[in-house]
Amino acid sequence: MGQAHSEDGAESEVTLQHIQELYRKFASECPSGNLHLHEFKRIFGFNRNSTEEESAYMDNVFRTFDTNGDGHIDFLEYVAAVHLIFRGNLKDKLVWSFKVFDRDGNGCLDREEVRLIVKIIGNIKQPHEAKTSGNVNEMVDRIFALVDKNKDSQISLEEFIEGAEKDPWLMDQLKLDIGPCEWYIYQQEKKQ
């Protein structure tokens, strides 16, 4: 199954038992067989105290998993999402990240979308650090300088992938790397 590196460098593996537990969790959380947006947000810990940006971000994550656009994630879409998160290669994860970031679905990221990305990912990675709009704007300017090759003030999927693959700083800023294997295994060990 999928493997990920833990902090100490040892590999953690998601076993069939873990996948079966994920299915049981899906079935218990979604007895109808469908995961709706409000359930999705609840499962991932977003609540009424979440910011508008965080809520919009989760809306986009949900939208990328709801591949047929019917307003819920069925078990097949759930399996596809789990597969992407646990086993997807870097390019697949970058394509998925791009789709999450592309709020209007036009196939390009504009400065406002990138500004929102930087702000949200910064809050996720370092929730207690103060983010000033000046720092965010500087990061957006740096991202566009590195990635927007044709200088049209939009980042295409190709520019996004090429820039992220070539620049480690940019990869760190843009890749949605939620470490699901370690998170899931940690959650299971806490229950024991």
For 18-34, what is each residue's pLDDT tens digit?
777 777 877 887 888 89
Q: Does residue 51 surpass a pLDDT of 50?
A: yes
pLDDT digits (tens, 9 = 90+) for 113-127: 998 888 877 766 665
pTM assigned to the model: 0.67
Read off the tokens for 152: 């049209």
Pick the CATH number of 15-87 from 3.10.580.10, 1.10.1040.10, 3.40.50.10420, 1.10.238.10: 1.10.238.10
Query: Domain 89-178 classified CATH 1.10.238.10?
Result: yes
Q: Where are the alpha helices (DSSP H) in 48-177?
A: 52-65, 75-87, 90-101, 111-125, 133-147, 157-166, 168-174
Q: Does residue 6 surpass a pLDDT of 60?
A: no
pLDDT of residue 183: 41
Amino acid in position 22: L
